[in-house]
Structure 1
Amino acid sequence: MTLADAISVYPNPATDKLHIVSESMNRIKSIQLLSNEGKSVYQSTTSVKQVDVIM
């Protein structure tokens, strides 16, 4: 299984909420979202199966 098969990110493009879901038995251990300028806009180190980011 590739990383592209293991993680789902939707909707694309997102306007107010972004869902990041692990499709495998593995949990998401950390995540960092960057803006177009390369600035960190979201960061989490909580181990979960799904992350809902409200923008």
Structure 2
Amino acid sequence: MERNPYEIFEDLKAQSRAMKEELEKEREKLAQSNSEAQIERVRQLEMESAAADYRVEEYF
């Protein structure tokens, strides 16, 4: 069954929100540990979050 555009858009927005929440959690951990691995994890999540935002904007 094919999904309607609104459902797809809502899924993309939910993915974007989830990425932002995960990024915020990782930033909090970074503030506590400041380890090189944690810094890299935050950088990766920032890129993934930006990509999720881009998908929402492109779909809309």
TM-score, structure 2 as length reference = 0.20
Larger of the two Rg values belongs to structure: 2
Which gives a bigger RCO, structure 1 or 2 (Cα 8 Å, sep 6+)?
2
**Larger fraction in helix:** 2
More strand by share: 1
Q: Scaled by the length of structure 1, what TM-score is found?
A: 0.21
